[in-house]
Amino acid sequence: MVKVKRQIVPANIAKNVTYADKNPVNYITVHQTGNPGKGANAKAHAKLQSNGNSRAASWHYTVDDKEAYQSFEDTAQCWHCSDGQGPGNTQSIGVEICINSDGDYKKAVANGAKLVKQLLDKHNLSIDRVKQHHDWYPKNCPAQIRAGKDGITWSDFINMVKGVKVSKPKKTQTGSEQITKPKANLSVDGKWGDSTTLALQKALGTPQDGIISKQPRNSATQSLYGNTVQFGNGGSNVIVALQKKIGAGTDGKLGPGTIRSLQKYLGTPVDGVLSRPSIVVKEMQRRLNAGTF
Ligand SMILES: [Zn+2]
């Protein structure tokens, strides 16, 4: 929840910068102030509007890394989307996010997302009603988000807006997943032997003995290293788990088909061949080490 201070622009000034006291709120339009100056925060922009903005522009809310200011009632028709006729001006609430250099940029964007979420809830609007200034008029605004400054893109921003409601359970889940996912310490050599099998068994949660049991003799199983493969009939648990994960048929037998699926899954060249050493095994080892397989 972002604290919103109300500093509503007096009527005698508002009449110069608003269209009408009628704004059917169908959209929330996001802007960035374009002012990186020190002190160009929400309070300063609220003051600018209260004193009569010489640019004859107007917007409802300004938000920075600490707080938000409301300058016009949501029902006032402001002018923040360049073109006077579009729904950006006539059916939306304008939110300006500060980019002042003495503020915390990421925090300001996060607060902007929270404020947008609060406004969506207040007006019972869905996430697709969140627009960029640029959606209404070919102006590069919100410029920094559009450029992905500090790694925050527009789709990240939208996710942040969505995340406000569901962030808690989601974060806990991701957190525990990261903690419980084992990381291996394999040499990334492309040689699939006992230690790679053991790491795979750990990652996939099957019994850990480093052995792939009951395997047919084929080009794939005969390209494994060390003593990891045991030939026979029936198939192995770890291969079933692997096949499930990568979307291959689950017969528990390693063969060209499973290698092909593994190559697709890991994004390496797809030929169904397990070379000695192998690129797809290298990639699997790399991910097992990172805990991301
Ligand atoms: Zn704008």
How open is the CA angle 274-214-217, to the nearest 5 degrees? 45
Distance 82 CA to ligand 1 centre (A): 8
Domains and CATH numbers, the chain: 4-173 (3.40.80.10), 194-290 (no CATH)
Question: What are the tens digits of pLDDT across the range 10-49?
Answer: 999 998 888 878 899 999 999 999 999 999 999 999 999 9
Give the Å distance between the CA of 139 and the centre of ligand 1: 7
Within 10 angstroms of residue 72's Cβ, the number of other Cβ atoms is 23
Dist. CA 144 → ligand 1 center (Å): 11
pLDDT single digits (tens) 75-128 = 999 999 987 668 999 999 999 999 999 999 999 999 999 999 999 999 999 999
Q: How far apart are CA 168 and CA 155, in angstroms?
A: 20
Look at residues 277, 282, 280, 285 and name the one whose alpha carbon lies nearest to residue 202.
285
Rounded Cα–Cα distance for residues 65 and 76 (Å): 25
> What is the C-alpha separation between 86 and 199, in angstroms, rounded?
58
Per residue in 146-163, pLDDT tens?
A: 999 999 999 999 999 998
Distance 43 CA to ligand 1 centre (A): 18
Note the pLDDT tens digit of each residue in 200-237: 999 998 898 999 999 999 999 999 999 999 999 999 99
Spacing, Cα 51 to ligand 1 middle (Å): 20
